Structure 1
Amino acid sequence: MKTGPNRAGTPTRGDDVPDAVVIGAGHNGLVAANLLADAGWDVVVCEATPHLGGAVRSAEVTTPGYLSDLFSAFYPLAAASPVINALDLDKHGLSWTHAPAVVTHVFPDDSSARLSRDVQATAASVDKFAAGDGDAWIRMHEEWEQIRQPVLDALLHPLPALMPVQRLARTLGVAGALRMARLAALPVRRFGEERFNGVGGPMLLAGNALHADLPPDGAGSAVYGWLLAMLGQSYGFPVPVGGAGRLTESLGNRLRSIGGSVRFESPVESILIEGGRASGVRLRGGEVIRARQAVLADVTAPILFRELVGESRLPARFVADLRNFQWDLPTLKIDWALRTPVPWTAAEAAGAGTVHLGVDLDGLTDYAADLATRRVPDRPFLLFGQMTTSDPSRSPEGTESAWAYTHLPPGVEHTDEMVADHVALVERTLERHAPGFGDRVVGRYVQSPGKIEEEDPSLVGGTVNGGTAQLHQQLIFRPVPGLGGASTPIDRLFLAGSSAHPGGGVHGAPGSNAAHAALARAGALGGARRYLTRTALSRIYGPDRSTAMPAVPAVPDTAEVDATRR
């Protein structure tokens, strides 16, 4: 361990006790570790798997020579994130590249709307559906550009984001702020109807809202669809050259360069809690790693509080609220190695990194209703990625490394038969819009919801967003009412994963927020901050039970853990 001043002004000692233990080497955990190491802390990251990166990882899984992104793939939020950009990852091996176009939505009749980084090109595409819609798109983009930075600052900063919200309010004025508040509650279907006369613009917005689990008629879906579409317009949907894993590799390279370390195949079994505060972790094999200042957990909230802390150590009302935690939708993902590019009949799909297809807006509503009522959709919405189109290094010249994902209903068993039938349905949908697609497949790799969890244990049941992105579980309601940030009912234990505000997506904000909360707790005013936090939490959840329990919490047995994950 290195010796040097931490941000609290106290030198770290040259012993084997790090200042912080970070649980999980996903991108949020690595962001948190980097920021703590930048502040002079000794940091150890404990990763359960043999791999760096969590849900930001690449491998050759379809056939040799074709690189696939195993979970996430396109990164507009990373491109826009002040957290990621401040780390200068280009100095540690990261570079970005773009497809010629950002997103194309292909309708069932093979007409299409295309989002490009050139706003005039996007406007021309949506104007085909109704004269004047191109001008409406340009106006929407101009409005976005006026508030882009304060919106991003407000979104990615810890709550309450007073300064960014004040800047946003000054920019918008009273009337504009009221309209923005309405947008935050508006369904994307209604937003599209208010802004456009044709179906092209609304479908680009609604399709982007479905990158999360936001139904087109759900409150708050408008702001997510608008945000992602406008990020695509301003930043594109870039990908790391050489695979998604290059992003987390660069975070790991940076961490090692400033003295941090990652321990692989080191699953954490429980959080050590002594005197009401987190004091370290116990690994599954029994090894204890103590932490002088903080423990940060880049895992989902149910795993942290039920499995690693234990419900008996938490306030009863907090535990009751946690039982209402809602996961996002289970994901089915398919990767293909194709011997040629995709033979689209819709010309606008050919150069797009991301293609949406399978349904129109009414079909998107039906698809969301099927999932909400636990029916397997017979007309799935597909999000399709053309990775070689975006980054030629992903497969041999003249070929394509591609993938698609869709959702399966929650709360039902995802049998091998169901998965196989849905894979066949996905490929029939592709065949309708790209005749001969199946003949070009030279390799296939299927990740069922169970397979996704097997490959990344934090993606419980194939959910990839750390919990639903719907309005009732965002902001101060994430992961439960009253938190909305990194602090937890346990002193010096911080939630650094996507279950914390602002949620899923590769932007690093949960990790950054947790790191800054840990540094503030260790600072000169840390005691006062903790007193205020404990007082606020006790008013919301009742008395803190953590001080009355033994130092090492019990871990639920397998049956109990499995029950909490369903």
Structure 2
Amino acid sequence: MPSPRPLDAVVVGAGPNGLAAAVTLARAGLHVRVLERREQIGGGLSSAELTLPGFVHDVGSAIHPLGFASPAFREWPLHAFGLTWVQPDAPFAHVLPDGTGVVVERDLDVTARNFGVDGAAWRALFGPLVAQWRGLLDDVLRPLPRLPRHPLTLARFGLRGVPPASLSARLLRTRAARAAWAGLAAHANLPLSTPGTGAAALVLGSLAHTVGWPFPRDGAQALADALAAYLRFLGGEIETGVEVRSPGDLPPARAVLVDSSPGVLLDLLGDRVTPGYRAWLRRYRYGPGLLKLDYALSGPVPWRDSFLCRAGTVHLGGTLEDIARAEAEVAREVTPERPYVLAAQQTLFDPSRAPKGQHTFWAYAHVPPGTPDSYAGTIEAQIERAAPGFRDLVLARRITNARQLQALSPVFQGGDVNGGRGDLWGLLARPVPSPTPYRTPVPGLYLCSSATPPGGGIHGMCGYWAARAALQDVFGLE
């Protein structure tokens, strides 16, 4: 039951950013209530038996290097509330057209040696950032207009991150290293010719060589549940099954933080803002969606190259040129014949997610709007080429399309799991050009979703920074 104590703040949405915002406020001693329209908390950070009983699948995000490295999550005692991280033997691997696996190790020097003639170039790309990874994250996981705390590190990052990934790839000569770089950059869900796509490769690659690419034991839901348990420990409340469509649906509170889309924010703002601000929110742009597949398997994936079993995450898509072509086709609203596929095989390292001897497999591809579920066959063919006999192991399959992702959370408009287009302008004006974009023209009302800086990913920093703004503006706290 809700506490009779007056509320200081209400958070709309129990996704990772909403929960992070609520925890930040509660840590300051405020009475906070989270309202979630679904019965299950977590949003894109949730898990469920999507295929067969006993098989636990991640509904949205599956691998969480940013969650493990998040400045907010690092500071909070989430381990005391049931969170345990699983580290695969290797962070990620990439499959070349002949089925050969390129495995990127956590150790930068080992990876550089494995890349042979490209070892020095790979070390030059990532070495300076690996050495200063905490400072790098402190600067990239905050509003971009702010003065950097680590200007030299950020300058090094910008030198390689601002150019398109396809341009930075020219520093590498071998097919293996160039493909691994492209697989990292394609996480941006943009053509590799887009300025700023190199930044995705640098951040994710630097994390691979520092904290790894871990995931929560028992499913992504474990991270959401740990955040919720910590919030309740601090005196916060969570109500599920509560739909918030208008200001009248909100209980009285001094501050309201919205972990949802700019469209939902518009409904809550009503006629209390200028036409200009409403126009900015309406112009907010999203990237392509995705088609996601969850599998229950009778055994591990039969990769042509068994070395791929060392990695928790596997990129399929071929060479740099293949991936660049596929992502460019998606941007032109053409479905690629050989898509870039991002896959995760958690049960190799966390057997708690499936019955003994059986496995889960998680995979998705970027797709244009309106792509039918039948495209799952094309994605599956890409997996089968790298792992002949894969289809024979399938006990059950669940397809999640862009429309279903948007139903899961309005943040994923059109199936864009990054919560908005991640090009340079999309990051600088997210959702409006402002040094503190979490604030709205209505005093006490804030946006705290991935439609604000630093954008998509499971790190909670959008909620953290929005809550910090509310603490300063409304409650006079730093």
TM over 0.5: yes
Q: Which residue of 2 aligns with 1:514?
A: 466
Amino acid at match of 2:132: I
Tell me the TM-score normalised to structure 1 length: 0.81
Q: Are the equivalent residues in 1 in contact too, given 2:294–2:399 (CA < 8 A)?
A: yes
Q: Which residue of 1 aligns with 2:197?
A: 221
Distance in 1 between the 2:305 and 2:324 partners? 23
Q: Which residue of 2 aligns with 1:188?
A: 165
Match of 1:256 among 223, 232, 246: 232
Q: Which residue of 2 aligns with 1:32?
A: 21
358-367 or 84-93, which deviates more: 358-367
Q: Are the equivalent residues in 2 in contact too, given 1:101–1:117 (CA < 8 A)?
A: yes
Distance in 2 between the 1:484 and 1:188 partners? 29
Q: Which residue of 1 aligns with 2:44?
A: 55
465-474 or 146-155, which deviates more: 146-155
Amino acid at match of 1:480: V
Tell me the TM-score normalised to structure 2 length: 0.95
Return structure 1 stretches of 4+ with deviation > 6 angstroms.
Answer: none
Q: Are the equivalent residues in 2 in contact too, given 1:104–1:113 (CA < 8 A)?
A: yes
Q: Any idea what the Cα deviations from partners look like across 1:18-73, whole Å, max 9, x if unmatched?
A: 00010000111111111111111111110010011111001111111211001101
27-36 or 117-126, which deviates more: 117-126
259-268 or 206-215, which deviates more: 206-215
Aligned pairs for 1:488-499 (under 5 A) are 488-499=440-451
Q: Which residue of 2 aligns with 1:6?
A: none
Amino-acid identity (%):
37
1:443 matched to 2:396 = yes
Cα 1:518–1:303 change in 2 (3 A) is same
Structure 1, unpaired ranges of 5+: 3-13, 272-281, 527-566
Amino acid at match of 2:15: G
Cα 1:221–1:40 change in 2 (3 A) is same
Secondary structure in structure 1 of the residue aligned to 2:210 = helix
Q: Which residue of 2 aligns with 1:69?
A: 58
Q: Which residue of 1 aligns with 2:269?
A: 309
Q: Are the equivalent residues in 2 in contact too, given 1:113–1:126 (CA < 8 A)?
A: no
Aligned pairs for 1:473-484 (under 5 A) are 473-475=426-428, 477-482=429-434
Distance in 2 between the 1:426 and 1:376 partners? 11
Q: Which residue of 1 aligns with 2:379?
A: 426
Task: State how many pairs are aligned.
Answer: 478
Match of 1:366 among 325, 335, 360: 325
Q: Which residue of 2 aligns with 1:334?
A: 293
Aligned pairs for 1:59-138 (under 5 A) are 59-127=48-116, 132-138=117-123
Match of 2:140 among 131, 155, 167: 155
1:245 matched to 2:205 = no
Q: Are the equivalent residues in 2 in contact too, given 1:465–1:503 (CA < 8 A)?
A: yes
1:347 matched to 2:306 = yes
Secondary structure in structure 1 of the residue aligned to 2:202 = helix
Q: Any idea what the Cα deviations from partners look like across 1:263-282, whole Å, max 9, x if unmatched?
A: 101010113xxxxxxxxxx3
Q: Are the equivalent residues in 2 in contact too, given 1:239–1:390 (CA < 8 A)?
A: no
Amino acid at match of 2:223: L
The structural deviation recorded for 1:100 is 1.2
Q: Which residue of 1 aligns with 2:131?
A: 146
Q: Are the equivalent residues in 1 in contact too, given 2:165–2:194 (CA < 8 A)?
A: yes
Secondary structure in structure 1 of the residue aligned to 2:190 = coil
Structure 2, unpaired ranges of 5+: none
1:270 matched to 2:237 = no
Q: Which residue of 2 aligns with 1:558?
A: none
Q: Are the equivalent residues in 2 in contact too, given 1:345–1:433 (CA < 8 A)?
A: yes
The structural deviation recorded for 1:160 is 4.2
Distance in 2 between the 1:85 and 1:396 partners? 32
Q: Are the equivalent residues in 1 in contact too, given 2:288–2:331 (CA < 8 A)?
A: no
The structural deviation recorded for 1:87 is 1.2
Q: Which residue of 2 aligns with 1:168?
A: 150
Q: Are the equivalent residues in 1 in contact too, given 2:163–2:198 (CA < 8 A)?
A: yes
Cα 1:31–1:362 change in 2 (3 A) is same
Secondary structure in structure 2 of the residue aligned to 1:494 = strand
Cα-Cα RMSD:
2.0
Q: Are the equivalent residues in 1 in contact too, given 2:157–2:202 (CA < 8 A)?
A: no
Q: Are the equivalent residues in 2 in contact too, given 1:474–1:484 (CA < 8 A)?
A: no
The structural deviation recorded for 1:16 is 4.8
Q: Any idea what the Cα deviations from partners look like across 1:84-140, whole Å, max 9, x if unmatched?
A: 11111001110101111111110112233211112233223322xxxx212322333
Amino acid at match of 2:169: G
The structural deviation recorded for 1:483 is 5.5
